[in-house]
């Protein structure tokens, strides 16, 4: 008979299973000179696309055979580009879309949509299909949906439910699901074995393989436990609160530093509501405001009418000597709203030594103050 375990004992038993089986899950186990790690682009979708495009241009035959399953009939590659712009004639769709990877042979077109840590846009694959149908008539076209583990596209990406006669035809029925952890890894493994000094392929393979093995070990071990449903529910309910506490501590420490070292005060009269953004900290100095904001990524805003700048994820690298940690590009920011790979720096900050925690807070406060001065000259 199964024991009626409470949540605490369920999690304790799970930890013991990990410990007894001597399973380690070190997300920092990648080689020190791995270029993706050095450049802090692990999990960056745009960078994955660029690396993938570079490798397939130089290894087209094996890519077409192993990843695209021979869909182009062995034809030579004529065009290969990233972020191919497309527009749609249907008024219900966005006017512009970007195919992540666009490939063309003599008689075949291939569109690859890449998803790493993002969700589908509305009607995304429909838009790509319409582009290929309308612009490249006479060519055989193929749509591939590339995710980490071969996930399905969203329903809304594949089918339009708008009330118009034309939209009843808008549905993507023919596409292929492929994954980084299977097809791409198999291809990279062949490249690594064939080209001894193919460092980009080796580094990319190392990152993907490490991630896949780590998460699969967790999943396999969890599934062995008869208390699997309770474990999942416990973690699902506990993690958001845990993360919220860490996030509040982090913001609070930065605000405390700005008030103590830079003369800011709490902006108690501020009544801020702007779109869906959350404004956890509002400060003022000499009548001017400074806001810490987040909807998805952490960014600063000097005033409601001003543009924002994102705080780069590498601000958490305690060994970094850089002074410019702000960017206009959200892809370089760390996510503060939900747990994903870009948030690991924030989670690790909580468990850093006190000296390193203070160093990161001082760095963030200095960047915030510089931003404030630049916008209030």
- pLDDT tens-digit map of 195-211: 766 688 888 888 888 77
Q: What is the pLDDT of residue 292?
A: 76
Whole-number Å distance between alpha carbons of 246 and 350 = 7
| Lookup: tokens for 179 | 């994954």
Q: Give exposure, 263-302, as e/b (b: 16+ Cβ within 10 Å).
A: ebeebeeeeeeeeebebbbbbbbeeebbbbbbebbbbbbb
Q: What is the pLDDT of residue 3?
A: 41
Q: What is the pLDDT of residue 64?
A: 94
Whole-number Å distance between alpha carbons of 270 and 303 = 11
Q: What is the pLDDT of residue 22?
A: 46
Which tens digits make up the pLDDT trace of 293-317? Answer: 765 556 666 554 556 677 887 788 8
The answer to whether the beta carbons of residues 290 and 302 sit under 8 Å apart is yes
Whole-number Å distance between alpha carbons of 308 and 301 = 5
In angstroms, how far is the first alpha carbon of the chain from the final one? 72
Identify the segments of the chain with pLDDT beneath 50: 1-5, 19, 22-27, 274-276, 304
Whole-number Å distance between alpha carbons of 301 and 16 = 46
Give pTM, 2 decimals: 0.56
């Amino acid at each position: 008979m199964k024991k009626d375990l409470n949540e605490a004992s369920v999690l304790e038993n799970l930890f013991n299973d990990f410990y007894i089986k001597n399973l380690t899950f070190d997300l920092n186990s990648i080689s020190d000179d791995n270029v993706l790690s050095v450049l802090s682009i692990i999990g960056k979708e745009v960078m994955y696309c660029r690396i993938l495009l570079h490798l397939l241009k130089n290894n087209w035959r094996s890519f077409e055979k192993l990843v695209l399953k021979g869909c182009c009939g062995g034809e030579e590659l004529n065009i290969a580009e990233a972020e191919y712009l497309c527009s749609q004639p249907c008024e219900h769709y966005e006017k512009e879309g970007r195919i992540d990877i666009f490939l063309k042979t003599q008689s075949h077109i291939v569109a690859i949509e890449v998803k790493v840590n993002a969700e589908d846009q509305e009607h995304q694959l429909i838009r790509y299909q319409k582009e290929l149908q309308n612009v490249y008539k006479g060519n055989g076209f193929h749509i591939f949906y590339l995710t980490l583990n071969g996930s399905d596209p969203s329903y809304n990406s594949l089918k339009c439910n708008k009330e118009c006669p034309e939209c009843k035809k808008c549905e993507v029925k023919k596409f292929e699901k492929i994954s980084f952890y299977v097809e791409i890894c198999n291809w990279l493994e062949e490249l690594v074995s064939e080209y001894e000094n193919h460092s980009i392929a080796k580094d990319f393979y190392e990152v993907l393989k490490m991630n896949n093995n780590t998460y699969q070990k967790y999943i396999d071990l969890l599934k062995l436990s008869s208390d699997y449903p309770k474990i999942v529910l416990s973690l699902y309910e506990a993690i958001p609160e845990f993360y919220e506490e860490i996030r509040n501590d982090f913001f609070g420490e930065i605000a405390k530093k700005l008030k103590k070292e830079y003369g800011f005060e709490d902006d108690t009269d501020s009544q801020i509501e702007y779109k869906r953004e959350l404004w956890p900290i509002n400060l003022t100095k000499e009548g001017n405001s400074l806001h810490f904001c987040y909807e998805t990524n952490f960014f600063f805003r000097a005033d409601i009418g001003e543009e924002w700048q994102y705080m780069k994820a590498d601000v958490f690298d305690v060994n970094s000597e850089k002074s410019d940690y702000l960017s206009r590009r959200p892809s370089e920011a760390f996510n503060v709203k939900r747990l994903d790979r870009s948030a690991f720096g924030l989670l690790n900050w909580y468990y850093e030594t006190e000296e390193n925690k203070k160093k990161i807070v001082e760095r963030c406060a200095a960047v915030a103050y510089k931003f404030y001065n630049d916008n209030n000259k």
